[in-house]
């Protein structure tokens, strides 16, 4: 047996590196997919103005201000702050006005041509059509894009956890392969060196 025949083969180190690369690709892909899915689920409207939006399920909905956005074939790029914008939400079926309040946690996102941050929230008691009206208080203001969605933060958190699991799982597997390969190759090389010493002694 020569050193090239030592088992496990040195290419197992390459396998470990490949697994880590796959883990990083899966991590990035899952994060990107999670953000894309979350953004595609957002309902958009232009403010000042109003829109009838169909909410598929009850629960808390977050209103985002998109300072960079794309809607109705037009790109919007506006200031990061929109002081004085008032948002009213009404359940169309009952005519009841819903209380709006500052979003419980600050959340921002950025992907491609869209970026935004959470500004307000409200709770819908049932699925249905809701009228969302936005206007500036006592003054004129620029046209901006608002987006509305439910469960975006939770969905992204789930995607991040899955991504981290894939990343650290790949690192752990690669570490095991590397350690086992190193240990077994070291033992095999020591046996080979011992065999070579014995062969030299015989001759």
User: pLDDT tens for residues 115-142?
Assistant: 888 899 999 999 999 999 999 887 778 8
Reported pTM: 0.61
Residue 146 banded pLDDT, cuts 50, 70, 90: very high
Domain limits for position 176:
8-31+159-202
**80-92 exposure pattern, b = at least 16 Cβ within 10 A, e = fewer:** eebeebebebbbe
- The answer to the question of residue 3 being in a domain is no
> Is 71 exposed, middle or buried (CB count within 10 Å of its CB: 0-12, 13-18, 19+)?
middle
Q: Determine the pLDDT at residue 109.
A: 77
Q: Determine the pLDDT at residue 65.
A: 92
Please determine, for residue 203, whether its predicted confidence score (pLDDT) is greater than 60: no
Beta bridge partners of 75: 70
Question: How many structural domains are present in the chain?
Answer: 2
Name the residue among 76, 148, 81 with its Cα closest to residue 113: 76
Predicted confidence (pLDDT) per residue in 152-171, tens digit: 655 556 667 777 888 888 89
Of 140 and 99, the structure prediction assigns the larger pLDDT to 99
- Please tell me whether residues 141 and 123 are part of one structural domain: yes
Locate the DSSP E strands across 78-183.
85-91, 97-98, 100-102, 108-111, 114-124, 128-136, 144-149
Q: Read off φ and ψ for residue 78, nearest 5 degrees.
A: -130, 175
- Please tell me whether residues 125 and 25 are part of one structural domain: no
Mean pLDDT of all residues belonging to the chain: 82
Region 47-73: what's the mean pLDDT? 90
- Please tell me whether residues 76 and 110 are part of one structural domain: yes
The CA distances from residue 80 to 83, 106, 109, 183, in Å, are: 10, 14, 13, 56
To 10 degrees, what angle do helices 152-202 and 11-40 make? 180
Lowest-pLDDT range, 24-33, 71-80, 81-90, 163-172? 24-33
Region 62-89: what's the mean pLDDT? 88
- Please tell me whether residues 68 and 106 are part of one structural domain: yes
């Amino acid at each position: 047996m020569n050193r090239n025949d030592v088992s496990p083969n040195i290419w197992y180190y390459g396998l470990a590196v490949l697994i880590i690369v796959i883990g990083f690709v899966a991590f990035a892909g899952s994060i990107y997919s999670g953000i894309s899915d979350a953004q595609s689920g957002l309902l958009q409207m232009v403010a000042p103005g109003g829109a009838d939006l169909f909410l598929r399920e009850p629960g808390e909905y977050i209103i985002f201000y998109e300072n960079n956005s794309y809607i109705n074939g037009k790109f919007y790029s506006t200031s990061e702050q929109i002081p004085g914008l008032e948002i009213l939400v009404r359940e169309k079926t009952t005519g009841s006005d819903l209380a709006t309040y500052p979003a419980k946690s600050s959340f921002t996102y950025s992907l491609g041509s869209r970026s935004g941050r959470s500004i307000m929230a409200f709770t819908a008691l049932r699925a249905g059509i809701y009228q969302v009206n936005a206007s500036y208080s006592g003054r004129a203001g620029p046209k901006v894009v608002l987006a509305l969605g439910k469960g975006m933060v939770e969905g992204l958190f789930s995607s991040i956890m899955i991504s981290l699991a894939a990343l650290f799982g790949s690192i752990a597997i690669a570490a095991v392969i590397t350690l086992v390969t190193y240990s077994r190759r070291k033992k095999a090389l020591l046996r080979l060196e011992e065999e070579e010493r014995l062969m030299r002694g015989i001759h």
